[in-house]
């Protein structure tokens, strides 16, 4: 989550997230409330998590359940696909 930082002078007493998860409201003991711009990445699906693991490790589990090394071309294709997935989900 990325927030613009404008701290409360006292302790934060509570928080609430907007339905679209674009803003976060906080209120504190100092009597102030602040509205924060928030950027929350979407969670990756199980398939996308597996894709990320394959790209980062260079390994995959084949149809027989054996652990195999990705060939260069396979890795490049998966890497490009992962790049698109991460961009779509707001991840670096």
Span 4-47, pLDDT tens digits: 556 677 788 888 888 877 788 888 888 888 888 776 667 889 99
**Which pTM was predicted?**
0.55
User: Is there a single domain that holds both residue 61 and residue 84?
Assistant: yes
Span 58-74, pLDDT tens digits: 999 999 999 999 999 99
Tell me which residue range forms the domain holding 13.
1-40
User: Is there a single domain that holds both residue 26 and residue 59?
Assistant: no
Please answer whether residues 47 and 39 qualify as being in contact, where contact means their C-beta atoms are separated by less than 8 angstroms: no
What element of type H or E holds 83? helix 72-88
Please answer whether residues 38 and 24 qualify as being in contact, where contact means their C-beta atoms are separated by less than 8 angstroms: yes
User: Is there a single domain that holds both residue 2 and residue 17?
Assistant: yes
pLDDT band at 1 (very low <50, low <70, confident <90, very high): very low
DSSP conformational letter for 2: B
CA dist., res. 77 & res. 88, Å (int): 17
Judge residue 14's burial from the number of C-beta atoms within 10 Å of its C-beta, 0-12 exposed, 13-18 middle, 19 or more buried.
exposed
User: Is there a single domain that holds both residue 26 and residue 52?
Assistant: no
């Amino acid at each position: 989550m990325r927030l613009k930082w404008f701290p409360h002078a006292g302790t934060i007493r509570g928080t609430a997230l907007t339905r679209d998860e674009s803003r976060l409201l906080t209120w504190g003991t100092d009597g102030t409330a602040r509205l924060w711009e928030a950027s929350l990445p979407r969670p990756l699906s199980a398939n996308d998590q597996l894709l990320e693991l394959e790209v980062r490790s260079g390994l995959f589990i084949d149809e027989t359940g054996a652990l195999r090394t990705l060939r260069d071309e396979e890795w490049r294709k998966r890497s490009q696909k992962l790049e698109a997935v991460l961009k779509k989900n707001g991840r670096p």
